[in-house]
Amino acid sequence: MSYLVLARKYRPSGFSSVSGQEHVTRTLANAIARDKVVHAYLFTGPRGVGKTSVSRILSKALNCQRPNGAEPCQECSCCKEISTGTSLAVREIDGASHNSVDNVRDLIDSFKALPPTGYKFKVYIIDEVHMLSISAFNALLKSLEEPPPNTVFILATTDVHKIPETVISRCQRHDFRALSVDVIQARLTEVSATEKLVVEPEALTLIARLADGSMRDAQTLLDRVQTYCEGDITAAETSRALGSVERVALVGLTQHIARRDVSAALNAVSELFSTGIDPSTLLKEFTNFWREVFLAKLGGEARLKSVGLSDDSIVELLRLVSPLEPIDVQDLWDLARDGADRCLRSSHQRHGFEALVARLATRLPVRDIGELIGAALSQGGATQSAASGERRAAPAPQASRPPSSAETTPRTPTASQVSTPPQTMTAPVSEAASGSGVGALRWESFLSFAADKGGRIFSENLKRIRVTRFEVGALEGTGPEFTINSIIRDKVKLNELLSTHAGEAKLTTWKIQLAKGPGATDGAESARAVVKEMTAESLESHPALQSLQKVFPGSKVEQVRVRNS
């Protein structure tokens, strides 16, 4: 067989040609340059990212006769023998087929021999080392801890969690990373140029995405597509050859979902399955595309570039997500991901995918529950205010006879004459105290004035008074004993503040009657008293609660709490 597959033909031969693993190759190159090579290495990471290739490069660098710094020369007999696999100094062992104690015992016997002529080190590369049995690991422990002179062990595995901690602790561990899409695409571009292949960038992007972080898988897919295509390699031909989904089909399906067009979305799904695509592949591609939609809306252009998307794809995604709200995109992405996971575990993947698409397309836009409740409460408060305004605007019944002079004299109504519904406020006041009578003042206005002019402590004490009368020259109310005593000590200050606020500076003495009693300690207690007096029927008829019940049909009030503010 004369043809050499791309994955073997373009296997890295030096540290500088390894893609995406600089954190490993730089460490190893420095160790060789500084003569700090350890006796045992553990290479772990996903498949096809360079573990075996770096093991061979390290073997050549340790034994190269004419090294260029830490890089092997690739020309001496040692480098050529190691590259072709004929070197007696470098022994590669498959851990899956040599996993018994007897195999390890034979391996230990070979440690006694010196390196062949022309070599400095004997190197043992054990691939898939996690396949060794526990007894084999235990037999190897002593040699790993104290190996013979000029002997280096390189253990490679994809499942490091299956290796005993006693083995890991005796090795210098290096973790290989899955390769990003842009790194794989850049390497495929170099290979295509060397092979003189005309490939669309979108086709290379598709191959890099399907490779799932593996350079070897990417080169194998490129080999497959190259054989399938007659001439130039296009994205459409690549999609057909690999059984993947064309990007334009995913864009169209997502547009139908965004427009909530269920019929068109299901038709698009039928067209996708008519191409003979594997349902699991479609689900993976669908999930990956919705991830890009999510990143486009939340991360923008910069985030899309970091995941290796082309400029045309970025523009297309940004245009797609522009009419969508971020909270809707997040919710749709969660539904798509969770639904795809369930479909992949289902025995009816196509039916599950159709149900998932229908669910996404019929989903109502998300609204924050806090905004809903706030809007409902605002609507209820506005309704209540309008009703109160109508009651105040209603004319009071008047007698047909003309009023007498005594009746025309301004007179402040007393607390017993006032009949107002309970109110929740900082200091509950009667109609006189709230300023509805002739010559009356507003207690809330005076509290604000006192806070500015009288000091914080003094104004806080005033807030704890239950005012029954407040007009020019007179202030009556009740309050806690401690509060009343504090105010009486500053009676002169209170008199001055009252006179200044009322605009009657000539009144040097006000009639101030403050009795010691339960008073109003704060607004929360007043609100609790109001709620306590309210019956269940009055709560149900409250405009704010009625508005909430319109938002949440069938709900009922079980408990009312007053929040301290």
CB under 8 Å, gap of 24 or more: what pairs does 544-552 form? 544/376, 544/377, 544/379, 544/380, 544/381, 544/384, 545/380, 546/380, 547/376, 547/377, 547/379, 547/380, 547/383, 548/373, 548/376, 548/377, 548/380, 550/376, 551/372, 551/373, 551/376
Phi and psi at residue 367, to the nearest 5°: -125, 135
Write down the pLDDT at residue 424: 32
Measure the CA–CA gap between 344 and 342, rounded to whole angstroms: 6
Measure the CA–CA gap between 473 and 440, rounded to whole angstroms: 10
Instruction: Report DSSP state, residue 124.
Output: E
Which residue carries 């003309």 as its tokens?
Answer: 402
Structure tokens, 500: 């200044």
DSSP H or E run through 331: helix 326-344
Phi and psi at residue 41, to the nearest 5°: -120, 150
Cβ–Cβ < 8 Å for 495, 470: no
Write down the pLDDT at residue 429: 39
Write down the pLDDT at residue 408: 43
Write out the chain's pLDDT in tens, 565 residues.
578 899 999 999 999 999 999 999 999 999 999 999 999 999 999 999 999 999 999 999 999 999 998 999 999 999 999 998 899 999 999 988 888 888 888 888 888 788 888 899 999 999 999 999 999 999 889 888 888 888 999 999 999 999 999 999 999 999 999 998 889 999 999 999 999 999 998 889 889 888 888 999 999 999 999 999 888 898 888 888 887 777 888 889 999 999 999 999 999 999 888 887 888 888 888 998 999 899 998 888 888 887 777 777 888 889 988 888 888 898 899 999 999 999 999 889 999 999 999 999 998 877 666 666 766 666 655 555 555 555 555 554 444 444 444 444 444 444 334 333 333 333 333 444 444 444 457 788 888 888 877 777 777 778 888 888 888 778 888 888 777 887 878 778 888 888 887 776 555 567 777 776 655 444 445 445 445 545 555 566 666 677 777 777 777 666 666 554 4
- Secondary structure of the chain: what % helix, strand, coil (to 5)? 55, 10, 35
Q: Evaluate the CA torsion angle 412, 414, 415, 419 in order and state its sign.
A: negative
Structure tokens, 287: 């999930």
CA distances, 57 to each of 32, 479, 499 (Å): 12, 89, 95
CA distances, 432 to each of 390, 422, 470, 475 (Å): 21, 14, 6, 11
Helix (H, G, I), strand (E, B) or coil at 261: coil
Write down the pLDDT at residue 509: 67
Q: Residue 213 pairs with which residues in a beta bridge?
A: none
DSSP states of 287-329: HHHHHHHHHHHHHHHHHHHHTT--HHHHHHHHHHHTTS-HHHH
Write down the pLDDT at residue 386: 55
Upper half-sphere CA count for residue 358 (Cβ side, 13 Å) = 10
Q: Residue 125 pairs with which residues in a beta bridge?
A: 92, 154
Whether the full predicted model's pTM is greater than 0.75, yes or no, is: no
Length of the chain: 565
Helix (H, G, I), strand (E, B) or coil at 422: coil
Write down the pLDDT at residue 384: 54
Domains of the chain: 6-175 (3.40.50.300), 181-242 (1.10.8.60), 250-362 (1.20.272.10), 420-565 (3.30.300.180)
Q: Which amino acid is at 93?
A: I
Q: Evaluate the CA torsion angle 127, 130, 136, 140 in order and state its sign.
A: positive
Write down the pLDDT at residue 517: 65
